[in-house]
Amino acid sequence: MTKSEKVKFIMSELERLYPTTPIPLDHTDSYSLLIAVLLSAQCTDKRVNTVTPALFELASEPREMMEKDVEKIREIIRPCGLSPRKSKAIKDLSRILVEKHGGEVPDNFEDLEELPGVGHKTASVVMSQAFGVPAFPVDTHIHRLMTRWGLTSGKNVVQTEKDAKRLFPREKWNKLHLQIIFYGREFSPARGLDIEKDFITSKVNKPLAPRK
């Protein structure tokens, strides 16, 4: 398959498998999504979803959160890992939201990426899922599958994001990045790959038939 043929096939199959794409992280607004995405670093979405109810019961908006003791935040989010760093980031970014942004989560990459604990991937998730701005957040599933599908060199996530944005239509990015994540979790894990189950990878990597 050529790259354009791969892209067409992949998009068609993902749309067939996942016509709807519910956001995996439970949230009620842009702030709770931002915090949930921050917590998801090196942690499963499932575990984050078990932790955030208690956290948002403690404080549901930035002004409340900035006034909480960082050790209390850390105690609640400990199951997510990296709790010392994440708890400090949550308290600090909440304060910045209040002091610089009127208590609102900014809807642009520049301001989001200036917040403690918020990198480009986290900002991309918030921009796409909270504000509907086309973005292509690259997590480990997307990086792995783009490499397995021969759509990127796989050298780093920065290059993978550039290749994904170049190959896939902009209007499909927000839904497609979730579809790829869902497929990776269900059919193409990092370990124990079953090439018969992972039919997209198997199909797009078949050798081209010789020309007659």
**Active site (catalytic) residues:** 121, 139
Where are the alpha helices (H) located in the chain, listed in sequence order?
3-17, 30-39, 45-58, 62-66, 70-77, 83-101, 109-113, 120-129, 140-148, 157-167, 173-187, 199-204
* DSSP-assigned letter for residue 42: T
Burial of 36 (0-12, 13-18, 19+ CB in 10 A): buried
Structure-token pair, residue 46: 């499932």
Task: Compute and round to an integer the Cα radius of gyration of the chain.
Answer: 19
In sequence order, the 6+-apart residues with CB closer than 8 A to the CB of 20 are none
Q: Note whether 53 and 153 are within 8 A (CB).
A: no
